[in-house]
A and B are shown apart, each in its own frame.
Chain A
Amino acid sequence: MLEVISVKKSFKDSTEHVLKGIDFKVDKGEVVAIIGPSGSGKTTLLRCISFLEKADEGQIRFAGHTYDMKTISKAHIHELRMNMGFVFQNFNLFRNKTALENVMEGLIIPRKMNKDEAKNIALEMLHKVGLGDRADYYPDNLSGGQQQRVAIARALALNPEVILFDEPTSALDPELTVEVLEVMKRLATEGTTMVVVTHEMEFAKEVANRVVFMEGGVIVEDAPAKVFFESPKEARSADFIRKK
């Protein structure tokens, strides 16, 4: 459903590639966990997939179309993004908008839905993440865990084909981490297609269908979760799991 092929990426100020040829694929309904030491390029990969960064080379296949990631047009980027959700490590809610308005924004403006309909969907999504009673709150008056759940509702409301999560709980205290992971587990059981960069090994073990282990800009191992955690093929993956 979503596939990227030989993605390479380096940043302006260095010649070394941060991504050195990544091939990676998600099927519909799958939950893929991407793990790996910090600096291995996990964030950069998600940002290239959502075109927040421009890859130097590579192709993306999504919803039946294939695009060159370097030469893709703005219109096509927009089209791809309209079918993708993204949840950031630090939430990135719109600070001048309430929880409800945050969730509605993508519906009423880019998708031109009428306000009543958008409001119903937004409220439904806020209920789904357990925040039906916080609809009128501004981000500044929500805890980190609540903000992240609003961010998840904002992504969900747009009914994307896939949602990309970049360490959604890394900025949260342990007790707030739980409430966010609970929501994500529920989405997984409902069949939401998700790509989750995470350091939560328990979550990966329990929820992911597949685990992708990255290090130094390459995918070291890509295996079904059970296989990965019980009998990793690569010594480096085994090492990484042991240290966690």
Chain B
Amino acid sequence: MSERLFEILLTSFPQLLEAAVRVTIPVTLGAFLLSVVLGVLLAVVQVADIKVLKQLSQIYIWIFRGTPVIVQLFIIFFGLPYVGIIIDAIPAAIIGFGLNLAAYNAESIRAAILSVPKGQTEAAYLVGLTYPQLMRRIVLPQAIRVAFPSLWNNLISLVKDTSLAASITVAEMFTRAQQVAARTYEPLAMYLEAAFIYLIICTILTWLQHVIEYKMAWEKPDGNRRKNIVC
């Protein structure tokens, strides 16, 4: 490797990392959080069979899964200002990715809710729980655990998809890589470097997945006793 190339990689690495930490990761986490909360709501109104809301939820999922996320981002960032709604680029990215992913998460969560055995629901009613209590205390904790691998899978996809935010002027990590590549005429090295950072983030997330899955498990391989916990 030439000394010049080494120099470029070395000085650009902290810059890319900074963009990752300041933009890519916050956008990812913000959007993911939004997508899970909204996903739970979209799933619950369907399972609970609440009139109107159920249909709205289905229409929502139909639209957000049926159109490209980049189009959704453009509508939010470039389109909405024409009806007087102006959102900064980063919040627009968080909202766009979050709304989009919510549609996918809703389907995973809905299936997970349906996988919780009906007998537990009956038992819950018989000890006196109401439907919302049953959902919050019995069904959703189990459903989230069941849905977790697929939610996390979506999170890992999202990390990489945030590069699309460049198209609505968000200066995320990949944009930085492009800038450096243009300035130094070293596209191969710069894009490999960006790829490397995405890979690191996703590796950490994969490792975290195992940690969280272990924490959430209620039958642990090592004898499984949570000590002194009450509710």
Chain A interface (Cβ < 8 Å from any Cβ of B): 50, 52, 78, 81-82, 84-86, 88, 90-98, 100-101, 104-106, 108-111, 115, 119, 136-138, 140-141, 151, 154, 158
Contacts and interface: CB of A to CB of B under 8 A. Distances in A.
Contacts of B219: 138, 140-141
Of A95, A100, A111, A115, chain B has the most CB atoms within 10 Å of the CB of: A95
B133 A109 contact: yes
B183 interface: no
| Interchain residue pairs A-B with the least CB separation, the first 4 | A110-B128, A106-B127, A140-B219, A92-B119
30 contacts: A81-B125, A84-B126, A86-B126, A88-B119, A88-B122, A92-B120, A92-B123, A94-B120, A94-B123, A94-B138, A95-B120, A97-B231, A98-B229, A105-B124, A106-B129, A109-B128, A109-B129, A109-B133, A110-B128, A110-B130, A111-B128, A136-B228, A136-B229, A137-B224, A138-B218, A138-B219, A140-B218, A140-B219, A141-B219, A151-B123
B225 interface: yes
Contacts of A81: 125-126, 128
A106 to B, nearest CB: 3
Nearest to A136: B225
Interface string B216-231: 0011000011111111
B230 A154 contact: no
Interface in B112-154: 117, 119-120, 122-130, 133, 137-138, 141-142, 145
Contacts of A104: 230-231
Q: Is the interface of A mostly helix, strand, loop or mixed?
A: loop
Interface string B135-178: 00110011001000000000000000000000000000000000
Nearest to A47: B122
A159 to B, nearest CB: 12
Contacts of B130: 110
Contacts of A97: 138, 231
B218 A136 contact: no
A100 B230 contact: yes
Contacts of B125: 52, 81
A36 to B, nearest CB: 22
B67 to A, nearest CB: 36
A49 to B, nearest CB: 11
Interface string B32-46: 000000000000000
Given A96-B218, A105-B137, A138-B219, A158 B230 contact: no
Contacts of B137: 105, 109
Contacts of A88: 119, 122-123
B229 A110 contact: no
